[in-house]
Amino acid sequence: MRMYPTFFKVAFSWMDAELAHTLGFAGIKAVHRSGLGSVLNKVTRPDPGSAVEVMGLRFPSAFGLAAGFDKGATGTHALTDLGFGHVEIGTVTGQPQPGNPKPRLFRLIKDRAVINRMGFNNDGAAAVAPRVAAALQSLSEQALKTGLERPIVGVNIGKTKVVDLENAVGDYVTSTRALAPYADYLVVNVSSPNTPGLRQLQELDSLRPLLTAVREESSAVTGRHVPLLVKIAPDLADADVQAVAELALDLGLDGIVATNTTIARDGLGLRSTEDEVAACGAGGLSGRPVRRRSLDVLKMLHQHAGDRLTLISVGGVTTPEDVIERLDAGADLVQGYTAFLYEGPFWAARINRGLKKAARRVRG
């Protein structure tokens, strides 16, 4: 019998969602600092046979934690204690910023969903970079001791709110200069609905010079190839999804992360009442209701690009069966976030066990 659903109902469901996140994350980090994280990881870690090679990197598992949870690389190692094969840091911006006014994070519990308008609250690239470096060092040392694969650390970068669109490329380059030396892979986020004008950067005329500049700066400051992906919104029209895929292929990008949160409210089959949804206000909706569109975008991208692009699928993933469905539909990696809030700290471990059982059935 799982205890976390009862714990969530008693301890967190009535609490401000952002405060609950802060307290929950603090608890995860406290367990790691106590030294119990390594003990916990013996139970939660992926099976060695579950490792996958993607973009020239060895991932302990195909399942990882999406950007948004660990915005500032303050608990990266602690999160991998829970069994995530990779953690994507961010979104990080070129300048520090507080994000949007609170309250800015809301739950739709009936729908296992979240609406957020966080606004890329983070400490800025210069402050986050040394934390990423420290996390990589700590994870590498652990890998040497255990002989197991090191969890992968990706970094997701976005635009500082006060920077206008005309200067957005320079802002992304600032983040790239600081963070690329420590990132296993980089993701350019142009799809959050919570930074005014950001989604305009998904337009091809804007996206091409942006991605080109980030890639060139990454190569210049690292002297190596850092895999580069772009994260897109589920609200793009089908033709625009295909156009972004063509651009990624033309530029020689490594892949696409699909998808971010949605600004849609209609057509998602929400169980929450209209008043409950309206009370949350504007923002991106994530969780179970975006599952169908996220899967459709993945299938479209795979049909259009085949194996020429790495595809990381995120959106509405809850169960091992969801992860397997995404992998079968063409995803190379799968990420989750919102379900983590509802499923609890052993969620990734349950996903990993499900992937192991599925692999055993295939082999058997």
User: Which domains, from first to last, does the chain contain?
Assistant: 4-363 (3.20.20.70)
Annotated binding site: 67-71, 91, 116-120, 156, 189, 194, 231, 259-261, 287, 316, 337-338
Q: What is the pLDDT, as a whole number, of residue 361?
A: 60
Q: What is the pLDDT, as a whole number, of residue 312?
A: 98
Q: What is the pLDDT, as a whole number, of residue 5?
A: 85
CA dist 192 and 339 (Å) reads: 19
Query: Which of 178, 90, 184 is closest to 136 using CA atoms?
Result: 184
Q: Which residues contact 332 (CB under 8 A, 6 or more apart)?
A: 52, 54, 62, 255, 310, 311, 312
Q: Which residues contact 337 (CB under 8 A, 6 or more apart)?
A: 65, 66, 67, 68, 69, 286, 314
Write out residues in the chain with pLDDT < 70, as ranges: 1, 360-364
Q: What is the pLDDT, as a whole number, of residue 1?
A: 56
Q: Which is catalytic among the residues 50, 61, 191, 192?
A: 192
Q: What is the pLDDT, as a whole number, of residue 140?
A: 98
Q: What is the pLDDT, as a whole number, of residue 19?
A: 97
Cβ atoms of residues 176 and 109 within 8 Å: no
Q: Is 192 a catalytic residue?
A: yes
Distances from the Cα of 299 to the Cα of 93, 331, 356, angstroms: 30, 9, 24
Q: What is the pLDDT, as a whole number, of residue 364?
A: 44
Annotated binding site for substrate: 71, 116-120, 189, 194, 260-261
Query: String of b and e for 307-339 (b: at least 16 CB within 10 Å)?
Result: eebbbbbbbbbbebebbbbbbebbbbbbbbbbb
pTM: 0.96
